[in-house]
Amino acid sequence: MTVLRQELLRGRAVAVAGGVPRVVIDGLVGLGARLEQLDVGLDEDRTREWAIAASPLHALVFDARPAFGEGGEAELGKALERAWVATRGVATGALIPGGAGKVLLIAPRSRAGSFAAAARAALENLARTLSVEWARYGATAVAVAPGVRAGITGGTLRGGPLASPGDEEPSQLA
């Protein structure tokens, strides 16, 4: 069940990159979006060319988690560089010329490695900055930092299907 109107994204094209979770893909398709897969290995110029060729695009969903991997310093740089290249290339190639667009950046989980907090903060700050800088073009950005999905079962709060191995399950409810 969804609270969103059926076919909300009908006629809209969404670029997806970086290993977007199946539940997000299914949700976008279920709302009628046409998905375009962006290769995160492209440089900024090739990403822009790809976006121009795939236009019209209405949104980008970028998942930084696969590039972040085990969460070391090198992976932090790789994830942030790929996020920037994908975001800037799609925005300048399709979203801004189209007069509007949305960017969704998916950050790694908080326990994804020693630099996870830095990655989450950097993606949040990128989204905030781009929302201000690109507002005049009708483009906005948001970062999502996943955590434990909780549900109540038998009076106990437990991690749900989106919980990662190693995420702690909260204790009994009072």
Q: Identify whether 70 is part of a domain.
A: yes
| Separation of alpha carbons 120 and 104, rounded Å | 13
pLDDT over threshold 90, residue 5: no
Question: pLDDT digits over 41-100, tens only?
Answer: 999 999 999 999 999 999 999 999 999 988 889 999 999 999 999 999 999 999 999 999
pLDDT of residue 147: 78
3-state secondary structure of 150: strand
Chain position carrying tokens 């299914």: 26
CATH number of the domain residue 75 falls in:
3.40.50.720
- Look up the domain containing 29 and give its range: 13-148
Domain count across the chain: 1
Mean pLDDT of 169-174: 35
Is 161 within a domain? no
What pLDDT, on the 0 to 100 scale, is given for residue 113? 87
- Beta strand 34-37 with 139-144: parallel, antiparallel or unpaired? unpaired
Asked if residue 65 belongs to a domain, the reply is: yes
Residues 6+ positions from 140 with CB-CB distance below 8 Å:
101, 102, 103, 130, 131, 134
Residue 120 lies in a domain: yes
| 3-state class percentages of the chain: helix first, strand second, coil last, to nearest 5 | 40, 20, 40
- Tell me, what's the pLDDT at 71? 86
Reply yes or no on whether the pLDDT at 156 is more than 60.
no
Q: What is the pLDDT of residue 130?
A: 96
Q: What is the pLDDT, as a whole number, of residue 165?
A: 44
Classify the phi-psi angles of 39: left when phi > 0, otherwise alpha if psi is within -120 to 50, otherwise beta: beta
Return the higher-pLDDT residue of 95 and 170: 95
CB atoms within 10 A of CB 80: 19
